[in-house]
A and B are shown apart, each in its own frame.
Chain A
């Protein structure tokens, strides 16, 4: 079975540009999570969806960040305009919560560098 698929794997862009990160969750999973990982702050949950509906976006750092999930097989995380402090690895994860112990399955992450 295919795992969580993220694209691109690496993204380098200049400050002020719009950045769009993409995620395809595991088929049948009804939860989708976006995380950001930095040396300073570790792994932070940005937002998560259940059945395509955003449930908790309290981790989204500011209005420059937005996330959508138009259907069960696709989600985007957009940063507009981007800033150097947004440089990080962004992970998408999905899970199927039949019960609490279902683990989250992570994608390989997108390493974002804002110059």
Chain B
């Protein structure tokens, strides 16, 4: 089965510090894309960052960056200078075509 595993149901970080959220996936596809979405209490699903599997360079978007290890099928998200607004549920779905496969998510708490 093609799955996504987020092994940390909950994480917490102090404001202004750095936190890394883990994600592993299992797929037999050779060409695919990985995403991180955040879902704050407002329940919107907001795209944070995306990574193409064929690219070796890790994606970066302002304070958000990924560590993509294709051989290990690992796709972690690093949030630098954490802000209170970063508190949310984070999901790391992957896609090889039109459909996204989601994991169970990681609930991130940011402490002031």
Contacts and interface: CB of A to CB of B under 8 A. Distances in A.
Contact of B52 (A45, A93, A101): A101
Interface residues of B, number: 23
Contact of B31 (A31, A55, A91, A100): A100
Contacts, number: 46
A108 B32 contact: no
A50 interface: yes
Nearest to B6: A42
A103 interface: yes
Contact of B102 (A43, A56, A109): A43
Contact of B45 (A42, A50, A91, A100): A91
A109 B43 contact: yes
Tell me if A's interface is mostly helix, strand, loop or mixed. Answer: strand
Interface of A: 31, 33, 42-43, 45, 48, 50, 55-56, 89, 91, 93, 95, 97, 100-101, 103-106, 108-109, 111
Interface of B: 31-33, 35, 37, 42-45, 47, 50, 52, 91, 95-100, 102-105
